[in-house]
Amino acid sequence: MNIIQNKTRPIFPFTAIVGQEEMKLALILNVIDPKIGGVMIMGDRGTGKSTTIRAIADLLPEIEVVSEDMFNSHVSDYDLMSDSIKQKVANSLNISTEFIKVPMIDLPLGATEDRLCGTIDIEKALNEGIKTFEPGLLAKANRGILYVDEVNLLDDHLVDILLDSAASGWNTVEREGISVRHPARFVLVGSGNPEEGELRPQLLDRFGMHAEIRTVKDPSLRVKIVEQRTKFDQDPYSCLEEFQNEQKKLKDRIILAQQHLNHVTIDYDLKVKISRICGILDVDGLRGDIVTNRAAKAFAAYQNKDEVDVIDIKQVITLCLRHRLRKDPLDTIDSGAKVSQVVNEVLC
């Protein structure tokens, strides 16, 4: 009788992914600073969108959570703590913790609002006076990554809920006057194929970044990608071992950047130039300005710098602004040429 080893299913190493630098950078920056607001990845089928997203989640260090807590509550950060844990802290009760992998939650296309937000057992609440909450995907995604494949095919109402939770960091469920609120701080990653339609401009604007990926045309690069994937499929554990050092280096670099982020500064003149670029490009609202400032600081922290410079802004600004230029739902998203032209004029 064969004994199946209790091993987790191996994930393709992030550092083994060839090309798609724009997508990889957007994911890394959102992991360094989740307040950037997530990333929308649009590109051809079969370009490794799902593989890359799962790989970044697998790369991240484990997080400490309160044991047997359905919301992955933080033991000391109030913004990442459920009400029941806050009460225990207030009453000085003993709280046990454990380390888990960063949650990576998939939202299926056919998901309902209850599946996403969670449900309250009204009958139990009315008859027994007990508030029973069945957590949804937003609860499970707290302090992790929530991935929506084909987000452009998702019901607009669910997209609104997702984006509201991602922006506020909280999810509130109300039924018959009974309310449950819990932390829902996650990196929202959406992906889709432009051929199947774009998101409405109003919804697209709510994503912090927009990365475009295309099928690799260079034959030698295509061969390299195929060989890398074949090697992993044949012997995943030796492939993981091969990239072990690179994975550790990148993980350490991300942790360092997360710790260093609050110490990074951006000069007032550069902030003015970012806002000037947004003004020239006729970007609606101030999300573009805010996200570009955040992303530039995250990139500077990733480079282990104390201050943002022009190079940092140039590296991230197209990712932050290109999807905010589309006013008409029938227009296509700018490839970045328009943003680059204005950036080169202002940040010369």
| Amino acid letter, 113 | E
The pLDDT, as a whole number, for residue 220 is 84
Question: Is there a contact between 180 and 172 (Cβ–Cβ < 8 Å)?
Answer: yes
The pLDDT, as a whole number, for residue 255 is 92
Residues in the chain: 348
131 lies in the same domain as 180: yes
pTM for the predicted model, two decimal places: 0.86
- 232: in domain: no
Q: Which of 200, 222, 244 is the last residue of a domain?
A: 222
Residue 179, H or E segment: strand 178-183
CA 60 – CA 206 distance, rounded (Å): 25
The pLDDT, as a whole number, for residue 169 is 85
Q: Which of 175, 191, 222 is the last residue of a domain?
A: 222
33 lies in the same domain as 139: yes
CATH number at residue 108: 3.40.50.300
- 299: in domain: yes
Give residue for tokens 């139990």.
124
184 lies in the same domain as 117: yes
- 139: in domain: yes
- 162: in domain: yes
Strand 178-183 versus strand 170-175 pairing type: antiparallel
Strand 118-120 versus strand 133-135 pairing type: antiparallel
Residues of the chain with pLDDT under 70: 1-8, 122-131, 197-198, 326-335
CATH number at residue 281: 1.10.8.80
CA 184 – CA 172 distance, rounded (Å): 10
170 lies in the same domain as 296: no
- Residue range of the domain that includes 129: 14-60+101-222
- 80: in domain: no
Q: Which of 222, 245, 271 is the last residue of a domain?
A: 222
Q: What is the DSSP letter of 162?
A: H
Catalytic site includes residue 326 = no
Phi, psi of 183 (to 5 degrees): -65, 140
117 lies in the same domain as 178: yes
The pLDDT, as a whole number, for residue 125 is 57
- 31: in domain: yes
308 lies in the same domain as 196: no
Could you tell me the two tokens for 73? 């509550």
The pLDDT, as a whole number, for residue 61 is 85
- 172: in domain: yes
Cβ within 8 Å of residue 119, ≥6 positions away: 133, 134, 136, 173, 175
Catalytic residue among 143, 185, 206, 287: 287
- 160: in domain: yes
The pLDDT, as a whole number, for residue 6 is 38
CA 58 – CA 259 distance, rounded (Å): 20
106 lies in the same domain as 194: yes
131 lies in the same domain as 47: yes
114 lies in the same domain as 176: yes
The pLDDT, as a whole number, for residue 1 is 36
Q: Structural domain tally of the chain? A: 2
51 lies in the same domain as 164: yes
